[in-house]
Structure 1
Amino acid sequence: MPQLRDATRGRVLFGGDYNPEQWPEETWPEDVRLMKDAGVNSVTLGVFSWAKLEPEPGAREFGWLDRLMDLLHESGIGVVLATPTSSPPPWLGRLHPETLPRDADGRIEWWGGRQHFSHSSAVYRHHAAAITEALAARYAGHPALTMWHINNEYCTFDYGDEAAIAFRRWLRERYGTLDALNSAWGTAFWSQGYDTWDGILPPRHAHYLNNPTHVLDFRRFTSDMLLECYTAERDIVRRHTPHLPVTTNFMPLWVGQDAWRWAEEEDVVSVDLYPDPRDPLGAQSAALVQDLTRSQARGPWMLMEQAAGSVNWRGVNHPKPRGLNRLWSLQAVARGADAVCYFQWRQSRQGAEKFHSGMLSHAGERGRTFQEVKQLGAELARISGEVTGTRIPADIAILHDWNAWWAGAQDGRLSTEVDHPEVVRAWHRALWESHLTTDFAHPEHDLSAYELVVVPQLYLLTDTAIDNLLAYVHGGGTLVCGFLTGIADEDDRVRPGGMDARLRELFGIRTLHEWWPLEQGETVECEGFRGTLWSEEIEPEDGAADEAIPYKGGELEGLPAVLRKGRAWYVSTLPEPYALRALLARVAAEAGVRPVLEGLPVGVEAVRRGELLFLLNHGREPVTVEVPGRHDDLLTGASVERELTLGRYGVAVLRP
């Protein structure tokens, strides 16, 4: 199977989306000149070009793309060619309104934006396959072509009639009989029992709460339908170019796709990443997505999109301060990226994203943005031979599952303050600030390679996943599990006792009496720290606990906030950041896991990739870092012995 290395050819890919149809053709040679000046070696073409390629049904306008592909090849710039199917031309929706998606209120999502397609529409799929087939047949042998990019940011939810038909078909395949479906969905509640498949609809707007398992299955169905769209186009281009890798770009920690399943269908896993420059935890948010994407890829991955400056979709869109684009780009490389790309090359002058930055901004080649991009391109070329294809060692796995997220986010939950991604971020932050490198894993994955496994929150766990966790601990692994985990089975059916009995035995819990969610800003006192967001009324088994940290005061006085039985820890609240960091650092040390470097200044991140040590200063002030032994800094060529100074947003890439 082709891999990212087949496209990189030993270099970090550097470039971005190129949308030349927005500009006169006379601009193209100037673009190429500036790309070469900036060290760009790869561009993505055609992401939003369907109307340009097929201006009316059945027409094919490839001349402009032929000339552009030739020009880029002559200039030594490779092409990631996209299928343009994320943004159908207006004629498709006008002639075939059944291709347009509907929201939960039944309103049509019209053309004029993007992602306006029904994933379940046979007509949409037919036209998407036809334009994909034409592209693949025409450019399969073109020497500029290095990779395929299918669609863009799959994120369409559709509640319309086409989706309803497909949903019923999906449910028949999953359950076989209506009796099995009614049992799985618990339709005895509120008189919801179905006597015919035709009575089942997507979970459209209802008078009160929708059936949670109905909603959960619709999430699963939507992910599967979008995946069918992806694999259909992927299979077309693979047939023409079996030697070239294929990808599509994830959005970071996106709720709409089971990315574990999707990653198995990609040759290259890629992601779009847009941390807020004003977010003091922006670097940690980026590191989380980078760790998750690397884990899905099981190795090097592709940063498909980022912003060279500001975006256009926040309430207030701040630019990146001087040096931050370089810092965050090299952070991605440190955490496994073999491609650093942007949306987009040249900033648009018209359209909805004209205020979204580009590598070449409105200020032109003399602008700060382009000059920083140019510096980064030169530095990536300098380290490419040392870094591409290498891996990041990790002794810790964080468990994450989209099904657990979907089920736990139901409308009728105990607390809307509990946001699954934020809980995951809190646990990852604790490990990141302790300089402990983490992978992510699915709860049914083989965990035996890890010394420590942490579960921030997995409300839904299958029997297979629970057995996997037990086998991991019984095999000598250390497990730390957060609150509200193991509550429901795969049908969102609450397990007897409010938590699976096998997990209660593992943690030494006799009875979970009550859940005590906390209000926004409310805390609960524990011995040595305060808990936030959540608490639980737990009665431990007599003499089973090897260690307990009790709640102090209130209804939970004396009951365990944190409980340890052997190598299994249960944390029934969300400790304040410093306390969670201290707890996980302690458990990691006892499990034999050590930080990348000890004694690092606040704000400095350390990551090992292969033989290289990346040091990144996320602060605005210079810092001095002690480094054991002698190293060469690949970015500056200087020798480093015992210590080095990192300036504002400074980076060093050290080779022993």
Structure 2
Amino acid sequence: MINSKKAKIWYGGDYNPDQWEKPVWDEDLRMFKLAGIDVATLNVFAWARNQPDEDTYEFGWLDEMMDKLHADGVGVCLATSTAAHPAWMAKKYPDVLRVDFDGRKRKFGGRHNSCPNSPSYRKYAVRMAEKLADRYKDHPALLVWHISNEYGGYCYCDHCEEAFRDWLRDRYGSIEAVNRAWNTGFWGHTFYEWDEIVLPSRLSEEWISTSGRLSTNFQGISLDYCRFQSDSMLECYKLEYEAVKKHTPDIPVTTNLMGAFKDLDYHKWAKHLDVVSWDNYPSFDTPHSYTAMMHDLMRGLKDGQPFMLMEQTPSQQNWQPYNSLKRPGVMRLWSYQAVARGADTVLFFQLRRSIGACEKYHGAVIEHVGHEHTRVFRECAELGKELFGLGDAVLDARVKSKVALLFDWDNWWAVELSSGPTVALKYVNELHKYYDALYRANIAVDVVSVETDLSGYDLVIAPVLYMLKPGVAKRLESYVEAGGALVSTYFSGIVNESDLVTLGGYPGELRKLLGIWAEEIDALLPTQSNRIVLKSPQEGLQTAYGCGMLCDLIHSEGAEVVAEYGEDFYRGMPALTVNRFGKGEAWYVATSPDDAFLQDWLPKLCEARGVEPLLAGAAAGIETSLREKDGTGYLFVLNHDAETASVALGARTGVDMLTGRRISGSAELPGRDLWIIKLDQ
């Protein structure tokens, strides 16, 4: 449990007293008490304040604030401040500055302008982390370490180029193995010496296409550079992790992730985080199911361990084209959505709005007016009171699902670096279509890696599993053979981990399991479509559904043909198949179906596998999640609509922990409100 020092859902967020004069500090602390804030994240961007030159360290302001917060009962999530290097460092040690995709050396400015392979950056970042850890190792306010902030962005400098060659030596062992992995016989790219290898950028292999997509001549090179940059930043994190752990071995360490963030392989990162934390910033019109999927993805990074909601905004954001206010009740509702799906903290960016620069219009608990008489502050204070009342009831409670959705960063990179067959294929969007269908049916889903033990799941869904890493196909076979059900889709099993095509017919290593082979792949224009025609429609399913984008032209090799294409020259060819394999079954969806098909078909498939929804027949705006702890279930029921909805609980009964009201049968849930029902045994 991450909250053992403060046994409740932590409530607070990023606080930047280093941007304010001291008279403001006491006023802020007064309002923190009013809002129920009990955790503050300090020191995120204060490197320049802490270290005005190479040899001087000044922590007086931080000492004072740590003491003040502790005296007021507020714990500290202490950041290492290394997310933004000081100007003096950029001037004296220009190797810390990144080189961009076009080969231009950056100057000081912005943030995340540090090269992850810069010797100077690593030296001073680790030194700062260790000084902070040594100074505050015994401070009673210290609850958790926050390394750097929102790692991301690539560098293309000479240090990165040399480090990339070293990374390749470690990965492949020989230049001959690199040539094989990258298929360098194509276009005469064979390498004979390590220093002949250059970074993939606009100066070499890559370009930005007219559609805005990163394109490359050699997917293997670009794919490995994605892996390398993710590993490089992870190495920076690990160096700081080790520095603080040396002095505070019992204090948990994290860094804030960003959901489905393409730059970094979070499955790899999560192995080195004591607890996962992430920043949740949906837009006004982001589907609630997408936000839910991101929470489930973050929870799945460490096998279902509760996570930290490190950042969200109390009101509006500042970087989107249209920065809408959160309507009354939405901040509270979305905070509880995170808790429902595994968060044990509710933290904001930010506690007080800054007066200048690009985040001055980003929402905060304390607005520019500077007092507590605002709608946002009142809502925050009401939420703080509720969280205090919940105490430790749901802390460390787990979400248990019988359905798994496979998510893989290497596969994501490979799919979208592909030179075909369509620019319309967006990996995360396709996964979300499957997730959304189950979300609408109130069926719980774990979003997990291809390395996860699947034996506990009744249904595993693996959309667009284009790349098969070593051992994945065999593990899927073993899962199905033992009685599991797998849903695979078009554009799966095509390549190995080096993005080299597996010969012998698509879907490669999955061919035996799925009982089909794919001869061709048709890419449809956005204006084109086809149809999935069911051969024997089931109750609750239509006879035909639309489909588009990609259509695999497949042949059965033992699989039962459940549906066929309805149009074009491949009319009558299989569009949906199922193969009985051992004690289980493997489905293949040969095209990208309309949402209506997945919303009708997937719940039926779950029902056949004995997977039940948390609530049946709920209105479209109702979201549910179940957390369990010590044999007690806590059913979260959230109404995302502005209107009241009637919710039928079926046989479930219990007490709403927020109001003390007993709920059973059918009950009215007001708009943008929720229940946390402690279920009767």
For the aligned pair, the TM-score class normalised by the smaller chain equals: over 0.9
* Match status 1:632 vs 2:655: yes
**Among residues 640, 647, 665, which one is paired with 1:642 in the alignment?**
665
State the shift of 1:453 in Å.
0.3
State the shift of 1:207 in Å.
7.0
Within 1, Cα distance between the matches of 2:490 and 2:77?
A: 43
* Match status 1:518 vs 2:524: yes
**Among residues 242, 247, 264, which one is paired with 1:257 in the alignment?**
264
Query: 1:456 maps to which residue?
Result: 463
Pair 207,438 (structure 1): closer, same or farther in 2 beyond 3 Å: closer
Pair 32,306 (structure 1): closer, same or farther in 2 beyond 3 Å: same
* Runs of 4+ off more than 6 Å: none
* Match status 1:204 vs 2:188: no
Within 1, Cα distance between the matches of 2:528 and 2:326?
A: 34
The residue type equivalent to 1:530 in the other structure is: G
1:293-317 residue CA offsets vs partner (Å, 9 max, x unmatched): 1111331100101111111111111
Within 2, Cα distance between the matches of 1:340 and 1:474?
A: 42
State the shift of 1:497 in Å.
3.5
State the shift of 1:637 in Å.
1.5
* Match status 1:150 vs 2:147: yes
1:322-360 residue CA offsets vs partner (Å, 9 max, x unmatched): 111111100100001001111111011111111111122
SS of equivalent residue, structure 1 residue 147: strand
**Among residues 170, 179, 190, which one is paired with 2:167 in the alignment?**
170
Within 1, Cα distance between the matches of 2:13 and 2:527?
A: 42
1:281-303 residue CA offsets vs partner (Å, 9 max, x unmatched): 1x111100110111113311001
Asked if the contact 1:6–1:244 (Cα under 8 Å) also holds between the matched residues in 2, the reply is no
1:415-444 residue CA offsets vs partner (Å, 9 max, x unmatched): 110011111111111111111111122223
The residue type equivalent to 1:63 in the other structure is: G
The residue type equivalent to 2:551 in the other structure is: S
Within 2, Cα distance between the matches of 1:450 and 1:504?
A: 22
Q: Structure 2 unaligned segments of length 5 or more: list them.
A: 207-215, 534-543
Query: 1:559 maps to which residue?
Result: 573
**Among residues 19, 22, 33, which one is paired with 1:22 in the alignment?**
19
The equivalences for 1:78-97 within 5 A come to 78-97=75-94
Asked if the contact 2:309–2:343 (Cα under 8 Å) also holds between the matched residues in 1, the reply is yes
Query: 1:160 maps to which residue?
Result: 157
Bigger CA drift: 220-229 or 512-521?
512-521
Bigger CA drift: 438-447 or 173-182?
438-447
Query: 2:3 maps to which residue?
Result: 5
Within 2, Cα distance between the matches of 1:521 and 1:385?
A: 53
The residue type equivalent to 1:96 in the other structure is: Y
Asked if the contact 1:119–1:225 (Cα under 8 Å) also holds between the matched residues in 2, the reply is yes
1:376-427 residue CA offsets vs partner (Å, 9 max, x unmatched): 1111122232111111110011011111111111151211100111111111
Asked if the contact 1:203–1:210 (Cα under 8 Å) also holds between the matched residues in 2, the reply is no
Query: 1:588 maps to which residue?
Result: 606
SS of equivalent residue, structure 1 residue 642: strand
Query: 2:377 maps to which residue?
Result: 370
Aligned residues: 648
Asked if the contact 2:301–2:449 (Cα under 8 Å) also holds between the matched residues in 1, the reply is no
Asked if the contact 2:466–2:495 (Cα under 8 Å) also holds between the matched residues in 1, the reply is yes
SS of equivalent residue, structure 1 residue 569: strand
Within 2, Cα distance between the matches of 1:521 and 1:336?
A: 40
Asked if the contact 2:230–2:264 (Cα under 8 Å) also holds between the matched residues in 1, the reply is yes
Query: 2:536 maps to which residue?
Result: none
**Among residues 282, 289, 312, which one is paired with 1:284 in the alignment?**
289
**Among residues 576, 593, 613, which one is paired with 2:635 in the alignment?**
613
The equivalences for 1:308-319 within 5 A come to 308-319=314-325
1:37-74 residue CA offsets vs partner (Å, 9 max, x unmatched): 11111111000000010111121111111100000000
1:350-374 residue CA offsets vs partner (Å, 9 max, x unmatched): 1111111112222441111111111
SS of equivalent residue, structure 1 residue 339: strand
State the shift of 1:36 in Å.
1.3
Within 2, Cα distance between the matches of 1:593 and 1:37?
A: 45
Within 1, Cα distance between the matches of 2:290 and 2:108?
A: 33
The equivalences for 1:468-507 within 5 A come to 468-507=475-514
Asked if the contact 1:574–1:580 (Cα under 8 Å) also holds between the matched residues in 2, the reply is no
Within 2, Cα distance between the matches of 1:655 and 1:22?
A: 43
Query: 1:244 maps to which residue?
Result: 251
Within 1, Cα distance between the matches of 2:484 and 2:528?
A: 34
Within 1, Cα distance between the matches of 2:254 and 2:465?
A: 28
State the shift of 1:112 in Å.
1.7
Within 1, Cα distance between the matches of 2:549 and 2:484?
A: 28
Within 1, Cα distance between the matches of 2:302 and 2:510?
A: 30
Asked if the contact 1:79–1:146 (Cα under 8 Å) also holds between the matched residues in 2, the reply is yes
Within 2, Cα distance between the matches of 1:521 and 1:389?
A: 48
**Among residues 572, 586, 607, which one is paired with 1:568 in the alignment?**
586
Asked if the contact 1:497–1:512 (Cα under 8 Å) also holds between the matched residues in 2, the reply is no
* Match status 1:127 vs 2:124: yes
Query: 2:554 maps to which residue?
Result: 538
The residue type equivalent to 1:380 in the other structure is: L
Asked if the contact 1:118–1:156 (Cα under 8 Å) also holds between the matched residues in 2, the reply is no
The residue type equivalent to 1:253 in the other structure is: A
SS of equivalent residue, structure 2 residue 121: helix
Query: 2:213 maps to which residue?
Result: none
With structure 2 as the length reference, what TM-score do the two structures score? 0.93
1:112-167 residue CA offsets vs partner (Å, 9 max, x unmatched): 21011000011110010111111111111111001100000110301110100110
Within 2, Cα distance between the matches of 1:373 and 1:297?
A: 30
1:199-255 residue CA offsets vs partner (Å, 9 max, x unmatched): 112102137743110000000001111110001000010110011100001111111
Pair 214,222 (structure 1): closer, same or farther in 2 beyond 3 Å: same
* Match status 1:339 vs 2:345: yes
The residue type equivalent to 2:368 in the other structure is: H
SS of equivalent residue, structure 2 residue 381: helix
Asked if the contact 2:350–2:365 (Cα under 8 Å) also holds between the matched residues in 1, the reply is yes
Asked if the contact 2:458–2:485 (Cα under 8 Å) also holds between the matched residues in 1, the reply is yes
Within 1, Cα distance between the matches of 2:50 and 2:177?
A: 47
State the shift of 1:522 in Å.
2.8
The residue type equivalent to 2:465 in the other structure is: L
Bigger CA drift: 34-43 or 198-207?
198-207
The residue type equivalent to 1:632 in the other structure is: V
Within 1, Cα distance between the matches of 2:530 and 2:353?
A: 49
State the shift of 1:515 in Å.
0.5
Asked if the contact 2:645–2:670 (Cα under 8 Å) also holds between the matched residues in 1, the reply is yes
Asked if the contact 1:117–1:156 (Cα under 8 Å) also holds between the matched residues in 2, the reply is no
Within 1, Cα distance between the matches of 2:205 and 2:20?
A: 49
The residue type equivalent to 2:70 in the other structure is: H
Q: Structure 1 unaligned segments of length 5 or more: list them.
A: none
Query: 1:598 maps to which residue?
Result: 616
Within 2, Cα distance between the matches of 1:24 and 1:229?
A: 33
With structure 1 as the length reference, what TM-score do the two structures score? 0.97
Asked if the contact 2:494–2:508 (Cα under 8 Å) also holds between the matched residues in 1, the reply is no
State the shift of 1:521 in Å.
4.3
Within 2, Cα distance between the matches of 1:571 and 1:48?
A: 48
Within 1, Cα distance between the matches of 2:352 and 2:107?
A: 28
Asked if the contact 2:548–2:592 (Cα under 8 Å) also holds between the matched residues in 1, the reply is yes
Within 1, Cα distance between the matches of 2:266 and 2:84?
A: 22
The residue type equivalent to 1:470 in the other structure is: E
**Among residues 382, 393, 409, which one is paired with 2:400 in the alignment?**
393
1:165-208 residue CA offsets vs partner (Å, 9 max, x unmatched): 11011011111111111111100001111111111121021377
Asked if the contact 2:493–2:509 (Cα under 8 Å) also holds between the matched residues in 1, the reply is no
The residue type equivalent to 1:83 in the other structure is: T
Bigger CA drift: 638-647 or 419-428?
638-647
The residue type equivalent to 1:118 in the other structure is: C
The residue type equivalent to 2:280 in the other structure is: L
The residue type equivalent to 2:617 in the other structure is: G
Query: 1:654 maps to which residue?
Result: 677
* Match status 1:65 vs 2:62: yes
State the shift of 1:277 in Å.
1.7
